[in-house]
């Protein structure tokens, strides 16, 4: 049975979530983008070019690797890692930026802008722009510029201009505001490559579709190896693009649990966290209606996570829909649990995960045995942890390494 | 006092063959608790309609000046409730219509029906929601459109003519034409194509058309007054209030009014 996640309430709605809550200036650009995207996805030349790049440039398909020592530690006999960390540039983000950059080229737009938190999406965007010889400007909160200095330098090496954002909380949310302001101003020459399944329609479904390759591969790989579907698929959720990417192919498989793991920061009850689905309420930010961390007056509340990529007060609207319909469940792990998982995966499997992905690993370490009798477990290892090594050393009191 | 309607405010100027002057200020800025007094000064200096901004934490359609004013207003404790209190206080002494200018989320959080009722009771005449373009949320738009507040909507240089007509048909009070693609903020020059664009929008609209975004000097206000039914001045006024104090706002608006009236 196919489960429709898009309803007839309007294009780009997931139940009541999503939509296109934007300044009038952007309406035409979104109409144009929607039409260009529809045309591109039904054009075999476009899909063949993207598939070719994903194979030769990114290195897809990524392995689905059994992780026996992690399984032992979690009390589960069959834990698998979907190795998105092995993609070129070190995370799943490149799947989306290549797709959108190809689309921008098709639309005749040579200037690209992006927002970035941890810097992974910024690096992936800068990489796509270098490949296609496009101008690239990346907005990044001042706080993230400081805690992710390595990625700032990587973007600059790739020819991008990184613009630090000083407004608001000086993190991903504010970088997104600034990218939208740039887009409103330069909309005729510029395409905005949003890095997650957030923003106005068609971004949430377009980014999901570009990331859906993760789940398609995973589903075929687990059927090949295990001869059955997994009991659960586990992924971290900030905006939620790696999670939607791996969930999408399994939404119709009702027996497969879809588990999103949010950042509980210092603990949900401290108020210092980024768990929009657990502790937020529906609201409008960055062009769509979704769960949102906000105060009683409808002002957006600052998020907190040790992981810059999860440090965002909103979440993709399709996740809100999957939560409310019960098709997916969402849990959270704290900074401390994620840091512990970061170390344990390194020692157990020889893989240093991104701090974002470490949240998914932490959930399996904590609750993996619950699935013991029901079949294999798959974790989306969305990125590698090289970018976080200096940050973790600092957080753990080892002082600055670089 | 009983407020004049927005239509009447435009009508009076039209009969004089002049344009309406529409200053914008952010509620709660530059100091909490002085907004009604500031609005009184603007009304006395010749404002025909006043746009009052409800501050939001993430003003993504605004440039640095209004971002800063929103941030300060929120730091000073401004909420939708205190904004409505200021409107009520202003209304006790003035009949100049007020348009509340807001992002959607604070209104949704307040409860849209409660907000529409309370804004009307406080003495507001219109509502403009920056991030609610035509067709974004038909049910919500209909609730605003059928309320007794005028529903002011934006038209951008990127809006095609057919859509302009549909926006105009679903608006009341006046249509707000954004003079350029971009965020709010003072600019040194106006675009050359503005006159033709405003003519086209006015042809497609049966209600008055005001022009805003980037108009910052008396000279620019006078130039736009010759094209449009109304002139909106925001960031330049917000900055004047911030840098030169509360009385300077009224002095600036009086200068805009004089320039628009031909000297």
pLDDT value, residue A56 = 98
- Report how far apart, in Å, the C-alpha atoms of B91 and of each of B37, B119, B158 are: 11, 12, 36
Q: What is the pLDDT of residue B187?
A: 81
Interface-testing mutation among A16, A25, A190, with chain B (most B C-beta atoms within 10 A): A25
Nearest to B103 by CA among B137, B75, B83, B132: B132
Distance between CA atoms of residues B25 and B218, nearest Å: 17
B104 vs A21: CB contact, 8 Å cut-off? yes
| A90 and B CB contact within 8 Å | no
Residue of A nearest to B129 (CA): A23
pLDDT surpassing 70 at residue A9? no
Closest Cβ opposite residue A21 in set B79, B80, B132: B132
Residues 105-124 of A with CB under 8 A from B: none
* Cβ neighbours of residue A341 closer than 8 Å, sequence gap 6 or more: A333, A353, A358, A359, A361, A362, A365
DSSP A282: E
Of B114, B137, B185, B209, which to mutate for an interface test with A (greatest number of A Cβ within 10 Å)? B137
> Measured between CB atoms, does A86 come within 8 Å of chain B?
no
What residues of A are in contact with residue B79 (Cβ under 8 Å)? 297
Of residues A225 and A170, more confidence is placed in A225
Residue A72's contacts (CB-CB under 8 Å, 6 or more residues apart) are none
Q: Is the pLDDT of residue A244 over 50?
A: yes
Q: Do A21 and B131 touch (CB under 8 A)?
A: yes
A-chain residues within 8 Å CB-CB of B140?
A: none
- The runs of H, that is alpha helices, within A67-212 are 68-74, 93-106, 120-132, 142-147, 149-157, 172-186, 203-211
A12 pLDDT band (50/70/90 cuts)?
confident
Q: State the pLDDT confidence band at A4, using cuts at 50, 70 and 90.
A: very low
A20 touches chain B (CB under 8 A): yes
User: What is the rounded CA–CA span in Å between residue A74 and residue A97?
Assistant: 34
- Measured at the alpha carbon of residue A239, what is the angle toward residues A236 and A244, in degrees to the nearest 5? 65
Do B41 and B25 form a contact (C-beta atoms < 8 A)? no
Q: The complex's ipTM?
A: 0.96
Nearest chain B CA: its distance from A142 CA (Å):
16
A223 touching B (Cβ < 8 Å)? no
| CB of A151 less than 8 A from some CB of B | no
Q: What is the pLDDT of residue B190?
A: 85
pLDDT at A11: 63
Which of A22, A168, A296 shows the shortest C-beta gap to B58?
Answer: A168
Kindly determine whether residue B61 and residue A181, on different chains, have CB atoms separated by under 8 Å.
Answer: yes
Q: Which residues of B touch A25 (CB under 8 A)?
A: 61, 156-158, 178, 181-182
Q: Is A177 on the interface with B (CB under 8 A)?
A: yes
DSSP tag of A148: T
| Alpha-carbon gap, residue B65 to A260, rounded angstroms | 39
- Residue A356 designated active-site: no
Residue B27 · residue B44 · CB < 8 Å: no
- Which listed residue (A82, A93, A323, A387) is catalytic? A93
- From the list B56, B153, B163, the residue facing A299 with the nearest CB is B56
Q: Per-residue confidence at A5, pLDDT binned at 50, 70, 90?
A: very low
Boundaries of every domain in chain B: 6-260
pLDDT over 60 at A8, yes or no? no
Residue whose token pair is 């009798």: A373
* Residue-level pLDDT at A306: 94
Band of pLDDT at residue A3, cut at 50, 70 and 90: very low
B72 to chain A, any CB pair closer than 8 A? The answer is no
- A23: nearest CB among B57, B109, B131: B131
Q: What are phi and psi for residue B52, nearest 5 degrees? A: -115, 115
pLDDT at A6: 42
Higher pLDDT, B73 or A7: B73
Q: Which residues of B touch A294 (CB under 8 A)?
A: 105, 109
The residue ranges of chain B whose pLDDT is under 50 are none
Residue A302 Cα, gap to closest chain B Cα (Å): 10
Chain B residue closest in CA terms to A284 = B105
Phi, psi of A334, rounded to the nearest 5 degrees: -80, 170
Q: Can A382 be counted among the known catalytic residues?
A: yes
- First and final CA of chain B: distance in angstroms? 31
Q: Between β-strands A190-192 and A111-116, what pairing exists: parallel, antiparallel or unpaired?
A: parallel
pTM, two decimals, is: 0.96
**Nearest 10 degrees: Cα torsion A152, A153, A156, A162:** 20
Architecture in CATH of B6-260: Alpha-Beta Barrel (3.20)
Angle between helices A203-211 and A317-325 (to 10 degrees): 80
Residue numbers in B near A280 (CB within 8 A): none
Which residues on neighbouring strands pair with residue B175, listed in sequence order?
B153, B209
pLDDT over threshold 60, residue A149: yes
* Average pLDDT of every residue of chain A: 94
A93 is a catalytic site residue: yes
Q: Which residues pair with A329 in a beta bridge?
A: A259
C-alpha separations of A188 from B22, B156, B180 in Å: 29, 13, 12
> For an interface test with A, which of B58, B63, B128, B153 has the most A Cβ atoms less than 10 Å from its Cβ?
B58
How many CB pairs below 8 Å do chains A and B form together? 123
Neighbours of B45 (CB within 10 A): 19
Query: A165 pLDDT exceeds 50?
Result: yes
Tell me: the pLDDT tens digits for A338-387? 999 999 999 999 999 999 999 999 999 999 999 988 999 999 999 999 98
Active site residues of B: 51, 62
Out of B62, B74, B167, the one facing A299 most closely (by C-beta) is B74
In the structure, what pLDDT confidence band is assigned to residue A400 with cuts at 50, 70 and 90? low
Q: Indicate whether A7 pLDDT > 50.
A: no
| Closest of B12, B88, B89 to residue B47, by C-alpha | B12
């Amino acid at each position: 049975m196919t489960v429709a996640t898009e309803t007839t309430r309007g294009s780009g709605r997931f139940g009541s979530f999503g939509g296109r809550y934007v300044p009038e200036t952007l309406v035409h650009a979104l109409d144009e983008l929607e039409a260009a995207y529809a045309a591109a996805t039904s054009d075999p030349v476009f899909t063949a070019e993207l598939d070719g790049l994903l194979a030769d440039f990114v290195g897809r398909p990524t392995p689905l690797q059994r992780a026996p020592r992690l399984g032992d530690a979690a009390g589960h006999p069959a834990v698998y890692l979907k190795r998105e960390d092995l993609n070129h540039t070190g995370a799943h983000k490149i799947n989306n930026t290549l797709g959108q950059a190809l689309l921008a080229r098709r639309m005749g737009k040579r200037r690209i802008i992006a927002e970035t938190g941890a810097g992974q999406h910024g690096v992936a965007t800068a990489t796509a722009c270098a490949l296609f010889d496009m101008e690239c400007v990346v907005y990044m909160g001042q706080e993230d510029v400081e805690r992710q200095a390595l990625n700032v330098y990587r973007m600059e090496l790739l020819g991008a201009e990184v613009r630090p954002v000083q407004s608001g909380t000086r993190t991903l949310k504010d970088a997104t505001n600034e990218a939208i302001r740039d887009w409103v101003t330069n909309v005729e020459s510029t395409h905005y490559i949003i890095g997650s399944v957030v923003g106005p329609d068609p971004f949430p479904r377009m980014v999901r579709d570009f990331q859906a390759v993760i789940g398609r591969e995973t589903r075929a790989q687990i059927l090949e190896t295990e001869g059955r579907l997994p009991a659960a698929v586990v992924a971290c959720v900030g905006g939620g693009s790696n999670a939607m990417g791996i969930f999408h192919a399994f939404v119709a498989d009702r027996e497969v649990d879809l588990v999103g793991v949010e950042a509980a920061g210092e603990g949900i009850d401290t108020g210092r966290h980024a768990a929009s689905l657990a502790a937020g309420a529906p609201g409008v930010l960055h062009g769509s209606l979704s769960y949102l961390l906000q105060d009683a007056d409808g002002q957006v509340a600052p998020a907190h996570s040790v992981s810059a990529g999860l440090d965002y007060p909103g979440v993709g609207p399709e996740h809100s829909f999957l939560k409310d319909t019960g098709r997916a469940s969402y849990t959270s792990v704290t900074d401390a649990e994620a840091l512990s998982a970061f170390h344990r995966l390194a020692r157990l499997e020889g893989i240093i995960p991104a701090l974002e992905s470490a949240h998914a690993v932490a959930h399996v370490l904590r609750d993996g045995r619950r699935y013991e009798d029901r079949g294999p477990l798959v974790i989306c290892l969305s990125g590698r942890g090289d970018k976080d090594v200096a940050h973790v050393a600092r957080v753990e009191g080892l002082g600055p390494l670089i | 006092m009983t407020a004049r309607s927005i239509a009447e405010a435009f009508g009076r100027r039209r009969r004089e063959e002049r344009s309406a002057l529409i200053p914008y200020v952010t509620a709660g800025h530059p100091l909490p608790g002085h907004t009604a007094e500031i609005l009184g000064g603007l009304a006395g200096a010749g404002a025909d309609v006043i746009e009052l901004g409800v501050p939001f934490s993430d003003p993504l359609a605004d440039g640095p000046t209004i971002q800063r004013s929103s941030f300060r207003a929120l730091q000073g404790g401004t909420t939708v409730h205190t904004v409505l209190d200021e409107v009520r206080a202003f209304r006790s002494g003035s009949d100049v219509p007020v348009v509340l200018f807001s992002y959607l989320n604070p209104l949704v959080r307040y409860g849209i029906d409660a907000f529409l009722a309370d804004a009307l009771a406080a003495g507001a005449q219109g509502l403009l929601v920056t991030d609610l373009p035509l067709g974004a949320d038909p049910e919500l738009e209909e609730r605003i459109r059928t309320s007794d507040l005028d529903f002011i909507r934006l038209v951008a240089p990127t809006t095609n003519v057919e859509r302009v007509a549909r926006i105009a048909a679903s608006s009341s009070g006046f249509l707000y034409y954004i003079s350029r693609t971009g965020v709010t903020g003072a600019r040194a020059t106006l675009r050359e194509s503005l006159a033709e664009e405003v003519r086209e929008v006015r042809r497609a609209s049966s209600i008055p058309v005001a022009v805003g975004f980037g108009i910052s000097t008396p000279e620019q206000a006078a130039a736009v007054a010759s094209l449009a039914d109304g002139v909106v001045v925001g960031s330049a006024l917000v900055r004047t209030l911030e840098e030169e104090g509360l009385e300077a706002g009224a002095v600036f608006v009086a200068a805009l009014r004089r320039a628009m009236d031909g000297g």
